[in-house]
């Protein structure tokens, strides 16, 4: 029909918009941030050298880099447990949150009974719960995973409940006209429309789960980045301390990037304006 | 003469609100013949949407009765007699045009619907979207999205098509074109259509009869016959007969 050309963009034009070269955008998008980061590192090096600051107070970036080369094995040995705990906590915390959110959306009673408790748990500072969990769960992976899970749990629960409810009333009426069951509404409509909300929460959780794992390792643990931080601090091994912090940050950034990547793959239908 | 597809008797719908009960409809009665095309006009808030939603079993009836092919609205809904088209196309943004059209076939007790449904591909062609089957809603214009939602409504071969200001958000050119298409589709499928609009010419052009409601509470002001030939053309809107009909409807609305 003639109106397809009139009010729809021709297919070829659309393809060009989507296939625009990424390369040219990379430096325009990321360039300023990279420039600032490099600038800060250079400034840091200049201050440490210029004011002759003792290494135990603040090491220079070059000293920190040396730790990666010379004590890489220590860093890696402690890196893997933290990665494992953070990933497991992320998985457990978010899964529980999603399942609870689905339950809440289908049962007003469940929501009224458990939502306030979830809010209460969220108000307890995680640093205060950590020793309690270590006492209860011992010194293995379990308390760290639980702490990482707890820290992920709440933002995902809140966002997921909101996302599952963010379906237009017309869409729900349409499903009712079609005599769709609650299960069909969940699987055909609610879950997909909650995905933008879920990923917003997962991106937060992808960095906080690392914090949770590290905080868990602060208490009477002898492995992991968290325990390395404590040890390096007590022994004034500042370059090692800094290197550990950098590695922890790198882990969080890696989790975040991975989550963003999955989001891009899954949410292909999401237009920019829904942001 | 065809039997009544929809029969509304002494219908009242009230909503409970903080400021007490709101009476949306009161003492409403009319019949829609099978295969009829009825349009509805009335001032904003008079209960047009509520009436359609009561017929489709989306709101509770406070008084009176509605029968759809001799059954209650609920039984008719469960038998998949209805299709609903809203002002906003309400497509699922992650589904392509063709998959949106297929949605009614995937839910709600598929028995009886699946083996006699219309072909989604044919329906998209019928509404002028052949070749755009794989397009996502955000890649389509507002008019094209509304065409998809009409195709979706037709896929189960509904006996009753309820349309609530379906073209209200479209520009006049799109609207005219879809009006003609809708009449063609109606002639081809023979479904019973109830169509709410705010446009007097649209109501007169599409409807065999126009149900004019008055406000506060919503009552039937007149169930006006449109004395035009069965075959309608857009150019007809310039004729004296047509203008006489719209003038009459406007008079009813002003007094409503
Ligand atoms: N769910 C509801 N709860 C309370 N009151 C409602 C509800 N739905 C509709 N009403 C009230 O019922 C009356 C009729 O509303 P309705 O939406 O049917 O009007 P309408 O004729 O479709 O208006 P419009 O032309 O603006 O679409 C209004 O006074 C409205 O406030
Ligand atoms: Mg309305």
Residues of chain A positioned with their CB less than 8 A from the CB of B92: 171, 188-189, 192-193
Domain with CATH 3.40.50.300 in chain B: 1-81+159-168+177-256
Bridge-based pairing of strands B82-85 and B63-68 is unpaired
Say whether pLDDT at B10 is over 80.
yes
Residues B209 and B225: beta-carbon distance below 8 Å: yes
Contact A176 B132 (CB under 8 A): no
Token code pair at residue B231 = 């075959």
pTM over 0.95? The answer is: no
Give the integer Cα–Cα distance in Å for A232 and B106.
Answer: 60
Atom of ligand 1 nearest to the CA of B43: 25
Bridge-based pairing of strands B192-196 and B37-41 is parallel
Among B24, B168, B169, the mutation site with the greatest number of ligand 1 atoms within 8 A of its Cβ is B24
Say whether pLDDT at A233 is over 50.
yes
Atom of ligand 1 nearest to the CA of B59: 1
Contact A188 B82 (CB under 8 A): no
Structure confidence at residue A119 as a pLDDT band (50, 70, 90)? confident
Residue among B92, B112, B163 with most chain A CBs within 10 A, to mutate: B92
Q: Please compute the mean of the pLDDT values over residues A34-48 and round it to a whole number.
A: 92
Atom of ligand 1 nearest to the CA of B213: 21
A184 touching B (Cβ < 8 Å): yes
* The pLDDT of residue A273: 47
Say whether pLDDT at A275 is over 60.
no
Give the integer Cα–Cα distance in Å for A142 and B170.
Answer: 59
Which domains does chain A possess?
A: 1-53 (no CATH), 61-266 (1.10.3720.10)
For residue range B119-178, list pLDDT tens digits in order: 889 889 888 888 898 999 999 988 899 999 999 998 988 889 999 999 888 888 888 888
- The stretches of chain B forming alpha helices (DSSP H) are 48-55, 73-78, 97-106, 120-126, 142-154, 172-189, 200-206, 240-255
- Mark B135-161 as b/e (b = at least 16 C-beta within 10 Å): bbbebbbebbbbbbbbbbbbbbebbbb
Torsion of CA A140, A145, A148, A149, to 10 degrees: -150
Residues of chain B positioned with their CB less than 8 A from the CB of A188: 92, 103, 106-107
Least trusted range by pLDDT, from A262-271, B23-32, B154-163: A262-271
Contact B90 A168 (CB under 8 A): yes
3-state secondary structure of B210: strand
Say whether pLDDT at A3 is over 80.
no
* The pLDDT of residue A6: 41
Q: How far is CA A212 from the centre of its chain?
A: 11
- Provide Rg for chain A, Cα atoms: 24
Q: Which residues line ligand 1 (CB under 6 A)?
A: B 15, 17, 22, 24, 42, 44-50
How far is the alpha carbon of B131 from chain A, nearest alpha carbon, in Å?
A: 9
Angle, CA of A97, A99 and A103, to the nearest 5°: 110
Residues paired with residue B196 on neighbouring β-strands, in sequence order: B40, B164
* The pLDDT of residue A219: 86
How many residues are given for chain B?
256
Least trusted range by pLDDT, from A109-113, B8-12, B192-196, B213-217: B213-217
Ligand nearest to the CA of B48: 1
Token code pair at residue A102 = 């689905």
Contact B58 A177 (CB under 8 A): yes
For residue range A137-194, list pLDDT tens digits in order: 888 899 999 999 999 999 999 999 999 999 989 999 999 999 899 999 999 999 999 9
Burial (0-12, 13-18, 19+ Cβ within 10 Å), B75? middle
The domain made up of B1-81+159-168+177-256 has a fold known as Rossmann fold (3.40.50)
* The pLDDT of residue B111: 56
B174 touching A (Cβ < 8 Å): yes
Q: Please compute the mean of the pLDDT values over residues B66-82 and round it to a whole number.
A: 90
Non-local (6+) Cβ contacts of B105 within 8 A are B113, B114, B117, B120, B155, B156
């Amino acid at each position: 029909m003639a109106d397809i050309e009139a009010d729809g963009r021709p297919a070829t034009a659309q393809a060009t918009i989507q296939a625009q070269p990424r390369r040219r955008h990379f430096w325009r998008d990321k360039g300023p941030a990279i420039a600032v980061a490099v600038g800060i590192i250079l400034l840091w090096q200049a201050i440490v050298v210029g004011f002759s600051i003792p290494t135990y107070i603040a090491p220079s970036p070059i000293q920190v880099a040396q730790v990666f080369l010379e004590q890489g094995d220590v860093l890696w040995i402690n890196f893997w447990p933290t990665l494992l705990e953070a990933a497991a906590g992320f998985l457990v915390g978010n899964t529980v949150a999603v399942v609870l959110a689905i339950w809440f959306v289908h049962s007003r009673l469940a929501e009224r009974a458990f939502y306030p408790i979830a809010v209460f748990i969220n108000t307890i500072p995680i640093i205060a719960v950590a020793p309690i969990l270590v006492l209860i769960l011992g010194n293995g992976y379990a308390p760290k995973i639980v702490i990482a899970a707890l820290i992920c749990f709440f933002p995902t629960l809140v966002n997921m409940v909101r996302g599952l409810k963010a379906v237009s009333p017309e869409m729900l009426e349409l499903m009712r006209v079609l005599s769709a069951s609650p299960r069909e509404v969940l699987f055909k409509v609610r879950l997909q429309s909650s995905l933008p909300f879920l990923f917003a929460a997962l991106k937060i959780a992808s960095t906080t789960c690392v914090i949770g794992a590290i905080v868990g390792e602060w208490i009477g643990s002898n492995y992991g980045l968290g325990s390395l931080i404590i040890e390096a601090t007590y022994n004034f091994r500042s370059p090692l301390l800094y290197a550990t912090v950098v590695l922890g940050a790198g882990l969080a950034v890696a989790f975040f990037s991975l989550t963003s990547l999955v989001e891009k793959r899954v949410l292909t239908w999401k237009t920019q304006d829904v942001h | 003469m065809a039997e009544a597809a929809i029969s509304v008797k002494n219908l009242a719908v009230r909503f409970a609100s903080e400021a007490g009960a709101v009476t949306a409809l009161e003492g409403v009665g009319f019949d829609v013949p099978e295969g009829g095309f009825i349009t509805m006009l009335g001032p904003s808030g008079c209960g047009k949407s509520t009436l359609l939603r009561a017929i489709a079993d989306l709101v509770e009836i406070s008084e009176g009765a509605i029968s759809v092919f001799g059954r209650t609205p609920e039984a008719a809904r469960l038998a998949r007699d209805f299709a609903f088209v809203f002002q906003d196309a309400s497509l699922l943004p992650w589904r392509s045009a063709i998959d949106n059209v297929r949605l009614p076939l995937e839910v709600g007790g598929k028995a009886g619907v699946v083996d006699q449904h219309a072909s989604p591909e044919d329906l998209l062609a019928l509404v002028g979207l052949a070749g755009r089957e794989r397009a996502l809603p955000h890649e389509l214009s507002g008019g094209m999205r509304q065409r998809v939602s009409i195709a979706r409504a037709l896929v189960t071969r509904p006996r009753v098509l309820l349309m609530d200001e379906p073209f209200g958000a479209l520009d006049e050119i799109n609207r005219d074109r879809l009006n003609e298409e809708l009449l063609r589709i109606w002639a081809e499928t023979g479904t019973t259509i109830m169509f709410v609009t705010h446009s007097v010419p649209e109501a007169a052009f599409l409807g065999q009869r126009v149900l004019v409601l008055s406000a506060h509470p919503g009552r039937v002001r007149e169930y006006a016959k449109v004395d035009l030939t069965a075959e309608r053309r857009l150019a007809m809107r310039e004729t004296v007969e047509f203008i006489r009909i719209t003038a009459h409807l406007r008079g009813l609305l002003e007094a409503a």
